[in-house]
Amino acid sequence: MQYNYTVIVEKSENNYGAWAPDLPGCVSTGATVEETLANMREAIELHLEGMRADGDPIPEPSATAAVVQVAA
């Protein structure tokens, strides 16, 4: 089965961080957005593997993200 989880990427002072709203505790970092997303894909796979091993249900993806334009 394939899941499509929303991932939020944030810029910090020295790198990028990412997290998945539907998977609490599943986070990753990287030097670039591309590296961060690749690391996050691996983190999600490992997170889901651990959930399966523990007998926990895999959450259905439900979060979405959007960019909202506002005047400054």
pLDDT in tens, 44-63: 999 999 999 999 999 999 99
Report residue 33 as tokens: 């957005």
Residue owning tokens 């939020």: 8
Report residue 20 as tokens: 């998945």
- Model confidence at 33, pLDDT cuts 50, 70, 90, reads very high
> What's the pLDDT score for residue 3?
94
- Model confidence at 1, pLDDT cuts 50, 70, 90, reads confident
Q: Is the pTM of this model over 0.95?
A: no
Is 13:29 a contact under the CB 8 Å cutoff?
Answer: no
